[in-house]
Amino acid sequence: MIVKRAVFLDRDGVINRAVVRDGKPYPPATLERFEILPGVECAIHKLRKAGFLVIVVTNQPDVATGVQCREVVEAMHDKLRATGLCDDIKVCYHTDEDCCDCRKPKPGMLLEAAREWQIDLKRSFMVGDRWRDVAAGKAAGCHTFYIDYNYKERRADNPDATVGSLEEASRSIFQEN
């Protein structure tokens, strides 16, 4: 069995622009507001060309709370797939109150992807802009990158590296490998 390496990416704030209100990040409300951040396409294409799987792992609790329609979230994911920016997308539609295994900071989405794609988590990376992303990556055994936007919320605990963008994280991944 061939064991693969992956770069797991949070969606909002890593791949696309998050909507920041009162210092807190939120997903875009419509497909029209779903804007890929500068440098993301190039960084992802380089990672994929280097042999990394790129897997999006995203919490989308606004669907469970009725703030967002699942069809809109799926349209955003269809756009990502159509542009070739990922190999797979794992989504948790639950809230914290659901106590599921897939909602970050738990590592369920990463573990599921590792089983499905034969990924070596210890040789893989998690890139996120919130403490939950770093905690999920750490719990799965990945090297973690924290994109620090200085949100007014809990900060990530002990990421392996703090960066300013996915592009910067990808450069570090290439330097380490």
Length of the chain as a residue count: 177
Q: How confident is the model at residue 175 (pLDDT cuts 50, 70, 90)?
A: confident
| Tens digit of each residue's pLDDT (9 = 90 or more) over 120-148 | 999 999 999 999 999 999 999 999 999 99
Cα 53 from chain centroid? Answer: 13
| Tens digit of each residue's pLDDT (9 = 90 or more) over 71-127 | 999 999 999 999 999 999 999 999 999 999 999 999 999 999 999 999 999 999 999
Q: By percentage, how much of the chain surpasses pLDDT 90?
A: 95
Active-site residue, from 10, 62, 129, 133: 10
Q: Which residue has the higher pLDDT, 3 or 143?
A: 143
Q: How confident is the model at residue 1 (pLDDT cuts 50, 70, 90)?
A: low
3-state secondary structure (DSSP) of residue 129: coil
Residue 101 designated active-site: no
Question: What backbone torsions phi and psi does residue 46 show, to the nearest 5 degrees?
Answer: -65, -40
CATH superfamily for domain 6-176: HAD superfamily/HAD-like (3.40.50.1000)
Distances (CA, A) of 3 to 6, 36, 40, 117: 10, 30, 26, 8
Active-site residue, from 12, 62, 129, 133: 12
Say if residue 177's pLDDT is above 80: no
Q: What is the pLDDT of residue 3?
A: 86
Say if residue 18's pLDDT is above 90: yes
CA distance 154 to 123: 27
Interval 51-75 mean pLDDT: 95
Distances (CA, A) of 23 to 145, 150, 156: 21, 8, 16
Residue 88 designated active-site: no
* Average pLDDT of every residue of the chain: 96
